[in-house]
């Protein structure tokens, strides 16, 4: 899917164009092989470059091809996988220096560029590389922070439910969060390298204001990396404690069942005694059955009371 967008400076909204023009933003999502070939020919970009961007394993990088007239920047952004946990995927940003337009390309819709499209900042411009990159980067980092906040809440919820847990659901949830944090950690390392290079102003010129924004972004990346490490350590410690908690809960249940079995065995012994085929005291009395029930309840109650006093139940 391809959209050609141009920001209207008067309405501060994007307008979809029918053809490419100077300063526009071409947003490409999940293109077909035919579309990739067409894009490659139109913008004189090797198809292998576009294929690399769409490869799930592509790492964050910068590729500047002066002769071919483009600068390729790949960032890893959060994405909810079909398996139900958050991973990261590559988002390619192509700055076409000769044609003076910007192309973003990804395999799936990403939240950051969608938010930028739906509600662009007042000073956002698609004809300025530094402004476009710093604004999109801010949206991507915000997305990371929202996901980390969600993971923190989920971890707290799992920690509460673990106390009485006897199943593997909580441990599976924690492992999925741990997997997400591993994706985030590796992606943040690559993203930081890319942002550091661009902040030097050697890839394309950046103004003083945008330089400050990129420096702030580097600080945010450091903060996100710290949170990732902290949450990873919390999950590791929680998983280590999980087996002990489950084992302890299981022991308590087994102990309770054993004590209940002992208490219930008392009536069995009494009735078994009077079930023997030998003469026994009061066996001909009409009230013997009621008396045996009363004795069974009384002795079982005393046994339970004894267990309570010993704090075994």
Tens digit of pLDDT per residue, the chain (313 long)? Answer: 666 665 555 556 677 777 777 878 888 888 888 888 888 888 888 888 888 888 888 899 988 876 678 889 999 999 887 777 788 999 999 988 888 888 899 888 888 888 888 777 777 777 788 888 888 999 999 999 999 998 888 888 877 776 666 567 777 888 888 889 999 999 999 999 999 988 888 888 787 777 888 888 999 999 999 999 999 988 888 887 777 777 777 777 888 888 888 888 888 877 777 666 666 666 666 677 777 788 788 888 887 777 777 776 6
pLDDT of residue 192: 93
4, 17 contact by CB (below 8 A):
yes
- Regarding whether 267 and 163 lie in a shared domain, the answer is no
- Regarding whether 258 and 123 lie in a shared domain, the answer is no
- Regarding whether 260 and 210 lie in a shared domain, the answer is no
pLDDT of residue 69: 82
pLDDT of residue 208: 79
Return the CA Rg of the chain.
Answer: 34
- Regarding whether 152 and 265 lie in a shared domain, the answer is no
CA geometry: angle at 197 spanning 195 and 200, to 5°? Answer: 105
248 CB-side CA count, 13 A:
8
- Any idea what the CATH number is for the domain that residue 43 is in? 3.30.460.20
pLDDT of residue 166: 57
* Alpha helix stretches (DSSP H) within the chain: 33-43, 47-54, 111-118, 129-162, 169-199, 208-273, 288-309
- Regarding whether 126 and 259 lie in a shared domain, the answer is no
pLDDT of residue 164: 63
- Regarding whether 258 and 216 lie in a shared domain, the answer is no
Last residue of a domain, one of 247, 265, 293: 247
pLDDT of residue 1: 64
- Regarding whether 217 and 265 lie in a shared domain, the answer is no
- Regarding whether 183 and 126 lie in a shared domain, the answer is yes
Domain that holds residue 299: 252-309
pLDDT of residue 92: 92
- Regarding whether 282 and 183 lie in a shared domain, the answer is no
pLDDT of residue 236: 85
Last residue of a domain, one of 195, 228, 247: 247
Last residue of a domain, one of 231, 247, 263: 247
**Alpha-carbon span 131 to 152, nearest angstrom:** 32
**Alpha-carbon span 58 to 61, nearest angstrom:** 9
pLDDT of residue 118: 79
- Regarding whether 89 and 210 lie in a shared domain, the answer is yes
**Alpha-carbon span 203 to 226, nearest angstrom:** 28
Give me the number of domains the chain comprises: 2
What tokens does 113 get?
Answer: 């560029």
């Amino acid at each position: 899917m391809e959209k050609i967008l141009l920001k209207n400076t008067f309405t501060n909204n994007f307008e979809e164009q029918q053809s490419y023009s100077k300063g526009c933003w071409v947003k490409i999502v999940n293109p077909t092989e035919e579309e990739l070939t067409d894009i490659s020919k139109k913008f004189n970009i090797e198809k292998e470059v576009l294929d690399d961007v769409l490869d799930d394993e592509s790492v964050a990088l910068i590729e500047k091809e002066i002769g071919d007239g483009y600068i390729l920047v790949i960032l890893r952004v959060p994405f909810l996988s079909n398996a139900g946990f958050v991973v990261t995927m590559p988002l390619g940003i192509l700055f076409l220096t000769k044609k003076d337009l910007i192309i973003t390309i990804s395999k799936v819709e990403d939240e950051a560029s969608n938010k930028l499209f739906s509600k662009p900042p007042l000073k956002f411009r698609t004809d300025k590389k530094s402004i476009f990159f710093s604004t999109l980067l801010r949206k991507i980092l915000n997305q990371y922070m929202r996901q980390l906040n969600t993971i923190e809440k989920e971890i707290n919820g799992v920690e509460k439910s673990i106390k009485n847990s006897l199943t593997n659901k909580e441990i599976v949830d924690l492992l999925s969060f741990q997997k997400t944090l591993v994706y985030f950690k590796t992606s943040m390392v690559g993203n930081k390298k890319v942002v550091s290079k661009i902040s030097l102003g050697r890839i394309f010129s950046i103004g003083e204001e945008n330089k400050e924004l990129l420096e702030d972004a580097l600080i945010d990346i450091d903060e996100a990396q710290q949170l990732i490490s902290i949450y990873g350590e919390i999950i590791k410690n929680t998983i280590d404690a999980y087996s002990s908690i489950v084992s302890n809960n299981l022991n308590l249940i087994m102990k309770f069942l054993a004590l209940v079995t002992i208490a219930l065995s008392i009536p069995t012994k009494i009735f078994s005694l009077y079930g023997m085929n030998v003469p026994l005291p009061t066996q001909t009395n009409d009230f013997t059955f009621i008396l045996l029930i009363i004795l069974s309840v009384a002795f079982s109650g005393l046994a339970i009371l004894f267990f309570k006093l010993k704090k075994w139940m």
